[in-house]
Amino acid sequence: MSDSIDKKLVRHVAKLARISMSDAQATAMGSQLGAILSYFDKLKELDTEKVEPMAHPLDFTNVLADDQLGASLSCEQALANAPQRDECFFLVPKVIGDSQ
């Protein structure tokens, strides 16, 4: 297991995440997390001084279509399966505020 990721630290993080794990799982998780951190150490070796920060590594453009006005459901069609309704509105129990 990595020196920086010991079983005690794994157990602490698991407790914070409300995850229960056996000793074998804690040992395995510690070595896996240590390996992941070693990959980040490799990234520190790269020269990124002339690299501009970016939000995404690929050059994406907006590919969404423009909104177009179309036919919509009538009140009767929209509320056809509603268990309760009030004219053209769904009728639901009150869930905010005083419930009495």
Domain boundaries of the chain, sorted by first residue = 7-43
Pick from 50, 45, 51, 6: nearest CA to 29: 6
What is the C-alpha separation between 2 and 42, in angstroms, rounded? 15
Each residue of 56-98: pLDDT tens digit?
Answer: 888 878 778 888 999 999 999 999 999 999 999 999 988 887 6
Each residue of 11-25: pLDDT tens digit?
Answer: 999 999 999 999 999
Average pLDDT over residues 35-46: 88
pLDDT at 1: 45
Domain 7-43 in this protein, CATH class: mainly alpha
